[in-house]
Structure 1
Amino acid sequence: MSSPIADTRTDNIGRAIVLTLITIGVFGVQDAISKVLVQTYSPFQITMMRYWGFAAFSLVLVMRQAPLRQALNSKVPMWQVLRGVLLMADIWFFALALQTVPLGELQAITVVYPLLVTLFAIPILGEKVGIFRFAAVAVGFLGALVIVRPGGLPLDWGVLFALSSATLYAIYIVITRKVSQYDSAATSMTYAAIIGLVLSGVVGVFFWQQMGWGDFLMVVTIMGTTCAGHGLMVLALSMAPASVVQPFNYFSLPWAIVLSAVVFNHWIDPISLVGAAIIVAAGLVVMARERIKRVRVIADPRLPGQE
């Protein structure tokens, strides 16, 4: 069953783009606050509290559309459970990376995920990828190597956590595409919320530290920005197709660089910035080719859509 949002959408691309940029801005502030907190508290504790906000938002949104019991009725429950585990693990690794990797460099590494989506879609979805997209993926990974080159960002656990986060998120996206063939968006959102809530709580409780009022207010701000960010994202997607607003998600990179400089007094070095630009360019090429493929298939379903 399709999403009610998609069924009633009236495209308003200009507003959707603006809302997408605001969403990225909100999530960037959230990451900056999280980075401050994980210097004192366990990333597992901060992740648990952060996820409370996401779970609350998701479940309220779902219950406005359908009863929760109905939303839990999945045709592919094991795939849905795997999605929830992957999303939670992605957030854990990202929080661990926040401890040591500067915001700009961290965002530069994690934006490789669209390229990884292209690769994982081959075995999981059976997609065929042509020479153009393979070349773009190779160039994107070259950009990542520029960032972690000798003398660049140290290849330590933080970088490995960042790469793990991008990898897990890419697999999560591919599996989300797969389950969308069988389940509604409400069902996918419900499983992600409940599984993440359980996992983050089971692990986070063992890392609990008492918080001062100032730090607690920062956590409350994170929870608020989580709800606000996801709410703005849903609103943006109700106004325009995901393929239209997706390229603007790369605004997260310059925004992270600015926040890193303003909040943490750290500027990304020029060579790493070149590497980040290569990754973004490669990602945009992949998106463009995928969009061309979809247009060709819609125009003539008999075409294989390879490129």
Structure 2
Amino acid sequence: MSLKTRGYLFAFLAICIFASQDAITKYLGDRYPALFITMIRFWAFALFVFAFAASSPKGIRGSVQTRHPWLQLVRGLLLVAEIVVIVFSYVHAGLAMSQSIFQATPLIITILSIPLLGEVVGWRRGTAVLVGLVGVLVIINPVDVHFDISLLLPLVASVLFALYSIATRAVSREDSAVTSLFYAGVVGAIAISLIGPFYWSEVVPSDWIALAALCVCGTLSHYFLIRAYGLLPAAEVQPVTYFQLVLNVMFAVLLFGEAITYNMIVGALIVVGAGLFTIWREHQLAKRS
């Protein structure tokens, strides 16, 4: 098996596990507070990053060293806030709707990279962003009399994750990927542990299996994604991640009885198409430079 084939296999495994993780999160989110679920998830994530950092060449001591301590702290807070919001979104807006809107994240990253990173966005990517935002409006359908304010939750989660990604780009210029992963997990775990215990809930014995599965999925998905990025360029991994939308829609319909509307399908296709073009264009510009 070639290295590229292995990279795609790792990416595919990561996406399948991420989709399973979302379905489990939706199941638990309907039964327990979002902050409680996120806290348990981050405890497992923190254990994973500690083990990953300890096995790295520089060890934990080297992983802690950063040239951007404040920005790394902000990254951890942004990630944990995004996960809390997306759990609320799965409960109130639905899994399929939330994931359809969340696909706009690469477009929002492109927009925010202009003022925050000083990047230049040409007319092609600018047009793709505008088309993608139109797709988001098609999904949300704000002119419908049944428009629900909860549909803004996945959009907020998308903006938070875009800010997290922008911050990750900024620190990656001088900090290693292991350092960034370490701070995301540890800072997030500490932050949610200051609030989460106030929302502690009694868990039905059978649901501890779901919580354990959520923790295992969170660990394996990040591990496989790290392996994928180690074997493939980001531009080749990103298109594979859109398969998660297909899996999430399947889980939403089959497991939770959610309804899929035509505006969701059309809007999601527009958003994904615009996102794929933006990723491809960034890859072409990077190759030229």
TM-score range, shorter chain: over 0.9
Q: Please show how residues 2-151 of structure 1 align to structure 2 within 5 Å.
A: 12-65=3-56, 66-149=58-141, 150-151=143-144
Aligned residue identity for 1:98: Y
> 2:272 — aligned with what?
280
Find the aligned partners of 2:145 and 2:259 in 1 and give their Cα distance. 13
Aligned match of 1:173 in 165, 169, 172? 165
**Partners of 2:236 and 2:108 in 1: how far apart?**
20
1: CA distance between counterparts of 2:131 and 2:146?
A: 19
Give 1:133 deviation, angstroms: 0.6
CA distance in 2, matches of 1:209, 1:124: 40
Q: TM-score if structure 2 supplies the norm length?
A: 0.95
What is the root-mean-square deviation of aligned Cα atoms in Å? 1.5
Per mean C-alpha deviation after superposition, the further-off stretch among 233-242 and 30-39 is: 233-242
**Structure 1 residues 70 and 195, CA gap change in structure 2 (3 angstroms):** same
Q: TM-score normalized by structure 1?
A: 0.90
Stretches of structure 1 lacking an aligned partner (at least 5 in a row): 1-9, 298-307
State which drifts further: 239-248 or 203-212. 239-248
* Identical residues among aligned pairs (%): 32
Q: How many Å separate the matches in 2 of 1:224 and 1:210?
A: 21
Q: Deviations over 1:103-144 (max 9, x none)?
A: 111111011000011011111111000101111000001001
Number of residue pairs matched by the alignment: 287
Gaps of 5+ in 2: none
Residue type of the partner of 2:256?
F
Retained in 1: the 8 A contact 2:29–2:37?
A: yes
Report the secondary structure of 2:120's partner residue.
Answer: coil
- For 2:172, the aligned partner's letter is S
Q: Deviations over 1:186-219 (max 9, x none)?
A: 2111111111011111111110111111111110
8 Å Cα contact 1:35-1:98 kept in structure 2: yes
Counterpart of 1:45, as a letter, is F
Letter of the structure 2 residue corresponding to residue 283 of structure 1: G
Q: Deviations over 1:26-63 (max 9, x none)?
A: 11111111111111110000011111221111111111
Name 1:155's counterpart in structure 2.
148
Letter in 2 for 1:193: G
Cα distance, 1:11–1:122 mapped onto 2, change above 3 Å: farther
State the secondary structure of the residue aligned to 2:55: helix
